[in-house]
Amino acid sequence: MIITIDTGTTNTRVALFEGKNRIDQVKANVGVRDTSIDGNNLKLVNTISTAIEELKSKHSLQDSDIQAILAAGMITSNLGLHEVPHLVAPASLDDFANNVTSIVNDSISPLPIHFIPGVKNLNTENITSVMGLDIMRGEEVEALAIAEQFNIDKDAIIALPGSHSKFVAIDSNKTIKGCCTTLAGELNAIITNNTILTSSLENRFSETLCNEALLEGYNAAEQFGMGHALFLIRLQEQFEGRSHEKLASFLVGVILHSDIKALTSAPQLGFTSETPVYIGGSGLLCEATAYLLQQQFPDNPVNQCTDIQDLSAVGSMFVAAKANII
């Protein structure tokens, strides 16, 4: 059995695997944000310790039944359990395997926890500019999981839409060449819930996507910039009485305009007219990203990787296998 820990800003998932099959999982609304607020990581330590004990008890497991405990994400930051320095891109699978840090935390388990490092970009051409700089913790193992599962054998970009969307450039040897971060999901939430547009958007997201309105929002941002394009949502509601689905989809189009601009312009990604894009995950942002890329770059293969579950855990096991931990 393998236990994986995936800690983000606000949530932690502790899962039990037999091979690559998830047997069980414990989720908690505790993340590194709690460490920042509390000034210590006791809540995170207690959450993970309790989750591991719950999984062991529920499935009648002893420590000797656990092959490894693998950890990735913000748990490797200074606000997590143990800070592990970022690898500097380009980072190969060997680099990940050689830099796994194994620590015993007696408050959690007598077994070592194997921490997988994140990745950072350094701009070596012009250190006075922030262009090309970026960091990630957690998305690197998700990208590696997609690269391995889909057998990516050429330069490609892996898109991971979410609160903080990531675009990860990877090559045929599964070396991560760099990453680029946006605030797509967070912007969507803030604009929907905390602006003058909240009333027009009914203070909620749409559960379905209107591709026509999505494309209109994208084109409005291209023509007018984000500020005026966003206000068009209120004008459409006031003058045209547009449906919530269309207004919410228009908003996503406006936001994703800047995402696609970042994807195609960030020097560390090396996007060309032939670069395939793999979109990891499911949900409206993933669907919208795929549609807009297909519309704007019809010659670029766009693949939606909706069949892979537990990306962080699968990627962590991929690294652990390379490091001969499992």
Cα separation, 304 vs 282, in Å, equals 8
Domains in the chain, start-ordered, CATH in brackets? Answer: 2-153+308-322 (3.30.420.300)
> Given this model, what pLDDT does residue 289 score?
97
In order along its 326 residues, the chain shows pLDDT tens digits of 999 999 998 899 999 999 989 999 999 999 999 999 999 999 999 999 999 999 999 999 999 999 999 999 999 999 999 999 999 999 999 999 999 999 999 999 999 999 999 999 986 554 446 678 999 999 999 999 999 999 999 999 999 999 899 999 999 999 999 999 999 999 999 999 999 999 999 999 999 999 999 999 999 999 999 999 999 999 999 999 999 999 999 999 999 999 999 999 999 999 998 999 999 988 999 999 999 999 999 999 999 998 788 999 999 999 999 999 99
Cα separation, 253 vs 274, in Å, equals 23
> Given this model, what pLDDT does residue 122 score?
81
Q: Say which residue the tokens 């680029």 belong to.
A: 180
Cα separation, 163 vs 9, in Å, equals 10
- Helix, strand, coil shares of the chain, percent, nearest 5, are 40, 20, 40
Task: Write the DSSP assignment of 28-40 as a string of letters.
Answer: ES--HHHHHHHSS
| Residues 66-96: b if buried by 16+ CB within 10 A, e if exposed | bebbbbbbbbbbebbbbebebbebbbbbebb
Dihedral pair phi/psi, residue 152, rounded to 5°: -65, 120
Residue 249 DSSP code: H
Cα separation, 195 vs 215, in Å, equals 22
> Given this model, what pLDDT does residue 255 score?
98
> Given this model, what pLDDT does residue 132 score?
82
Residue 51 DSSP code: H
For residue 253, which of 231, 227, 281, 285 has the smallest C-alpha distance?
285
> Which ranges of the chain would DSSP assign to H, the alpha helix?
32-38, 42-58, 93-98, 139-149, 184-193, 211-224, 226-235, 244-265, 284-296, 311-322
CA–CA distances in Å: residue 161 to residues 168, 192, 258: 11, 17, 13
At 317, which amino acid appears? M
Dihedral pair phi/psi, residue 113, rounded to 5°: -100, 130
> Given this model, what pLDDT does residue 308 score?
81
At 161, which amino acid appears? P
Would you call 155 helix, strand, or coil by DSSP? coil
